[in-house]
Copies of this chain bind each other. A is one copy, B any other.
């Protein structure tokens, strides 16, 4: 029996009772990023999405960002096409105005006593360059903390913010990242790297996989060297020294690379926010923190190479998960035959934490 299975004693793939995972909706009771801070200038409003819900983000010249349903109560056109006036936004069509609370506070051609109902609001927070909303029950937003965002606030790291739209269910993204056997696919970018599965953990709302790697062929690419801050010796002696820990802590995902007890050389935080109502597309928000090496300026100088390297990797990942989604679309359901236990555990987690299709 392969060591994969002996590590944690699981000998049978638990291809479980998750139904069709691609029909499981993300749980709205969490904080989801919906925009980068830099996308929203002061005095402006932009339209974003969460699972088919149009959301207008509004940044007044003074005060915090707020989030409204992006449909004027009058004729349902996007408020994000409107104008920010003080602490309100005015619809572009007939000038109806809405405040921070979503209440309609002015209809230019109507008496104040007759103002119609307003629009839904979303709890909204901004941190480390991301704007978050809480699409679930607003009463629960206060108790739910924002997640830790990699090392975005740590000066010993340089953090890359990246993201794009991907045409697949968010669950494909979680599986892609956690199953490091897909290293095979990145061979052109990374050379031949043989992953060794070290073990997994499962806790409430959490699944974790740990790997080490040995280079079995090809050269270490520059981008990878940058991540580790040094060239690695390819000999077997040094193989499997670094540990990669990938964790889905619902609904977020992290990937850390660490050597022994040292701080991680790389710390990735990433989330896949459903865009359409069927949740078959997602927008990725990722923070990739790289530990600064001792030589000042080295990482900044090398940054463009690291960006290009990671973009190539992400492009390959995007292509394959979109092919997975296309197969799901063509087959009308999930025919996956998953054999890797930690991925089976991940699937069970996503199903448990999410909202069943018929809920």
- Interface residue ranges, A against B (CB under 8 Å): 1-2, 4-5, 52, 54, 71, 73-78, 81, 92-95, 107-111, 113-114, 116-117, 179, 181-182, 184-185, 195, 197, 320, 323-324, 327-328, 330-331, 335-340
* Nearest CB of chain B from residue A188's CB, rounded to whole Å: 10
Q: Are B337 and A93 touching (Cβ within 8 A)?
A: no
**A185 in complex: contacting residue of B93, B335, B336, CB < 8 Å:** B93
This protein's copies in its complex: 3
**A340 in complex: contacting residue of B2, B109, B113, CB < 8 Å:** B109
A76-B324 in contact given A107-B339, A184-B94, A340-B109 (Cβ < 8 Å): yes
Which residue of chain B is the closest to A104 with respect to CB atoms?
Answer: B337
Please name all residues of chain B whose beta carbon is closer than 8 Å to the beta carbon of A330 when the two chains form the complex. 52, 54
Q: Are A327 and B113 touching (Cβ within 8 A)?
A: no
Q: Are A117 and B340 touching (Cβ within 8 A)?
A: no
Q: Are A114 and B320 touching (Cβ within 8 A)?
A: no
Please name all residues of chain B whose beta carbon is closer than 8 Å to the beta carbon of A185 when the two chains form the complex. 92-94
Q: Are A77 and B339 touching (Cβ within 8 A)?
A: no
Cα distance, A264 to B140, chains bound together (Å): 61
Please name all residues of chain B whose beta carbon is closer than 8 Å to the beta carbon of A111 when the two chains form the complex. 1-2, 5
Q: Are A337 and B114 touching (Cβ within 8 A)?
A: no
Q: Are A94 and B182 touching (Cβ within 8 A)?
A: yes
Cα distance, A339 to B114, chains bound together (Å): 9
A116-B339 in contact given A2-B109, A93-B320, A109-B2 (Cβ < 8 Å): yes
**A74 in complex: contacting residue of B5, B78, B337, CB < 8 Å:** B337
Q: Are B184 and A108 touching (Cβ within 8 A)?
A: yes
Which residue of chain B is the closest to A338 with respect to CB atoms?
Answer: B74
| Given A5-B111, A77-B320, A93-B182, 8 more pairs with CB closer than 8 A | A2-B111, A74-B336, A75-B336, A78-B323, A81-B323, A92-B184, A108-B184, A109-B197
Please name all residues of chain B whose beta carbon is closer than 8 Å to the beta carbon of A71 when the two chains form the complex. 327, 335
Pairs A–B under 8 Å by Cβ, sample size 17: A4-B109, A71-B327, A71-B335, A73-B337, A74-B339, A75-B324, A76-B328, A76-B336, A77-B323, A92-B320, A94-B181, A94-B182, A107-B339, A109-B195, A109-B340, A116-B337, A116-B339
Cα distance, A75 to B171, chains bound together (Å): 13
Which A-B residue pairs are the 7 nearest by beta carbons?
A: A76-B327, A2-B111, A95-B184, A77-B323, A94-B181, A109-B181, A1-B111
Which residue of chain B is the closest to A54 with respect to CB atoms?
Answer: B330
Please name all residues of chain B whose beta carbon is closer than 8 Å to the beta carbon of A320 when the two chains form the complex. 77, 92-93
Please name all residues of chain B whose beta carbon is closer than 8 Å to the beta carbon of A108 when the two chains form the complex. 181, 184
Cα distance, A113 to B323, chains bound together (Å): 29
Cα distance, A185 to B95, chains bound together (Å): 8
Q: Are B94 and A179 touching (Cβ within 8 A)?
A: yes
Cα distance, A245 to B112, chains bound together (Å): 27
Cα distance, A54 to B279, chains bound together (Å): 25
Q: Are B335 and A76 touching (Cβ within 8 A)?
A: yes
Please name all residues of chain B whose beta carbon is closer than 8 Å to the beta carbon of A340 when the two chains form the complex. 109
Cα distance, A109 to B330, chains bound together (Å): 28
Please name all residues of chain B whose beta carbon is closer than 8 Å to the beta carbon of A179 when the two chains form the complex. 94
Please name all residues of chain B whose beta carbon is closer than 8 Å to the beta carbon of A81 when the two chains form the complex. 323
Cα distance, A7 to B337, chains bound together (Å): 61
Cα distance, A330 to B51, chains bound together (Å): 12
* Nearest CB of chain B from residue A338's CB, rounded to whole Å: 7
